[in-house]
């Protein structure tokens, strides 16, 4: 499973912080080899083209003693007695879940636990439960034709029984995932999950892992490395293929590990490694906040990209905290994503804030955004004038297993509507008619929207110097004087 990686590139001083990182050059080199492998194997590529996450873990290629007591291998040395960098690197590759219905492709590391064995306990019990459910459903249908009241009661009992059997089998499966950390310590998935969510409120919300936990790239890669005495050096994950309805991703772009399923696991598995610090804990650069307009009741400011509108979970520094220092009691009237720049209204008191909020609730405040979109991968004719403007309606909801990402959900999502006008090949004007989280970013990136992510959108497109989205104009009625207000700030 260890693939050689001959290069003069030096390894990083610390291991990758998997939830926010820039891929190291070694990982990029390894990823190119994995991508070439995918492209050269038709069966793998056909399934991967539908959308799949892959990962690479760069390791010292010559193992130390493994956690299982394996033997160490000697390292090739220079005359001076130091290991040659071209000889000691190797990489492991993995994919999330199954690939073309299999979890045993020889190029990739195996799963933490193989539940796909046809004659194994899990698959045997799964077939038994499925057969039982099928026969019970058939029997219940016959009873329904004879006595509907009795059938309803019978169905309820049988359904509860089937559900209990399925839950017990899933719990058994979770216990088979016994995860190592860099110290050689081992814990099963349920144990470490419940230890991570140990507060009563969180334990109630997340009592057990969701299905598929433990089958993502990162746990597979680290588990294999620890089992074989390999020293992890750096790690990265990339997406291959098309976006799916659940995953709005870009081909060959790098992404962090998912927080919902992987953070409880990796928090344990990284113990014993010297890991890069969480960049989100480092604080943000202090920035100037230009004032566009000010009177005795409110201000309109031009928020810079990279600054929070309100204090975050960790970071206190924000437009609101700066304004409160200058004007005690002030409140921002609405928010912009941290990466979005542009016009933001700040009320100097609660008495001014409340009537202005009524205008937002009644959709009486109008906002215009300007965005730069990623280039079209394959050149297409310039759209007809009739298609240069229109309406996007894609309902959104949070992705609880991968916050802060949002997903399009036609059944359970909340209404989200955006009017747009294409200004030229890469620039677009956007007028949100609703105010959902990440609405403009998803409506631009989604295949059923504009199908082109905003430049610099690291969640739904590709990371860049900044998110190229700017709140350029705003219209509202002054909450005290009643005067119609309109402000504009340039972007392009």
**Which of the residues are catalytic?**
337
d(CA 96, CA 105): 12
Cα torsion 61, 65, 70, 74 to 10°: value is: 50
> How many other C-beta atoms are found inside a 10 Å radius of the C-beta of residue 168?
12
Write out the two tokens for 168: 């017990």
Collapsing DSSP to helix, strand or coil, 79 comes out as coil
- CB-hemisphere CA count at 13 Å for 350? 1
Rg (CA), the chain: 27
Paired residues of 59 in beta bridges: 90, 232
Burial class (CB in 10 A: 0-12, 13-18, 19+), 330: buried
d(CA 182, CA 196): 18
d(CA 164, CA 158): 10
Decide if 391 contacts 418 (C-beta within 8 A): yes
Angle at 258 between CA 254 and CA 264, to 5 degrees: 140
Write out the two tokens for 106: 């020889």
Residue closest to 427 by CA, chosen among 375, 381, 466, 464: 375
Write out the two tokens for 9: 């590139």
> How many other C-beta atoms are found inside a 10 Å radius of the C-beta of residue 306?
15
Residue closest to 468 by CA, chosen among 341, 368, 301: 341
Strands 366-372 and 427-432: antiparallel
Write out the two tokens for 470: 């700017």
């Amino acid at each position: 499973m260890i693939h050689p990686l001959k290069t003069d590139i030096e390894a990083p001083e610390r291991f990758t912080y998997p939830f926010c990182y820039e891929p190291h050059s070694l990982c990029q080199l390894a990823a190119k080899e994995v991508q070439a492998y995918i492209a050269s194997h038709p069966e793998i590529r056909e399934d991967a083209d539908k959308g799949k996450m892959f990962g690479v873990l760069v390791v010292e290629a010559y193992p130390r003693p493994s956690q299982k007591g394996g033997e160490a291998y000697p390292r090739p040395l220079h005359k001076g007695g130091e290991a040659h960098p071209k000889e000691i690197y190797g990489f492991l590759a993995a994919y999330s879940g199954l690939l073309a219905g299999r979890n045993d492709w020889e190029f990739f590391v195996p799963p933490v636990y193989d539940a796909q064995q046809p004659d194994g306990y899990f698959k045997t019990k799964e077939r038994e439960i499925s057969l039982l459910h099928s026969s019970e459903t058939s029997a219940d249908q016959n009873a329904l034709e004879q006595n509907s009241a009795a059938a309803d009661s019978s169905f309820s009992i049988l359904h509860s029984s089937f559900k209990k059997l399925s839950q017990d089998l899933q719990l058994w499966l979770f216990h088979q995932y016994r995860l190592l950390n860099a110290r050689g310590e081992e814990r099963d998935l349920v144990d470490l999950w419940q230890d991570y969510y140990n507060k009563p409120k969180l334990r109630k919300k997340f009592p057990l892992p969701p299905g598929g936990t433990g089958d993502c790239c990162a746990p597979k890669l680290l588990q294999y490395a620890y089992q074989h005495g390999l020293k992890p050096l750096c790690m990265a994950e990339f997406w291959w293929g098309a976006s799916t309805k659940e995953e709005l991703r870009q081909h060959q772009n790098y992404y962090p590990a998912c927080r919902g399923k992987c953070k409880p696991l990796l928090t344990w598995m990284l113990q014993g490694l010297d890991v890069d610090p969480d960049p989100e804990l480092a604080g943000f650069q202090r920035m100037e906040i230009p004032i566009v307009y000010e009177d005795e009741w409110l201000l309109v400011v031009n928020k810079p990209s990279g600054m929070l509108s309100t204090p975050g979970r960790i970071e206190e520094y924000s437009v609101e905290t700066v304004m409160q220092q200058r004007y005690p009691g002030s409140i921002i009237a609405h928010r912009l994503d941290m990466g979005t720049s542009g016009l933001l209204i700040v009320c100097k008191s609660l008495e001014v804030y409340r009537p202005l909020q009524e205008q937002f609730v009644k959709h009486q405040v109008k906002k215009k955004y300007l965005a730069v979109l990623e280039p079209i991968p394959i050149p297409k004719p310039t759209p007809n004038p009739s298609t240069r403007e229109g309406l996007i309606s894609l309902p959104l909801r949070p992705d609880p297993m991968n916050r802060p990402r949002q997903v399009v959900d036609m059944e359970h999502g909340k209404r989200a509507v955006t009017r747009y006008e294409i200004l030229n090949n890469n620039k677009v004007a956007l007028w949100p008619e609703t105010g959902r989280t990440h609405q403009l970013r998803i409506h631009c990136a989604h295949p059923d929207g504009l199908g082109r992510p905003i430049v610099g959108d690291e969640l739904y497109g590709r990371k860049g110097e900044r998110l190229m989205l700017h709140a350029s104009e705003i219209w509202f009625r002054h909450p005290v004087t009643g005067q119609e207000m309109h402000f504009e700030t340039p972007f392009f």
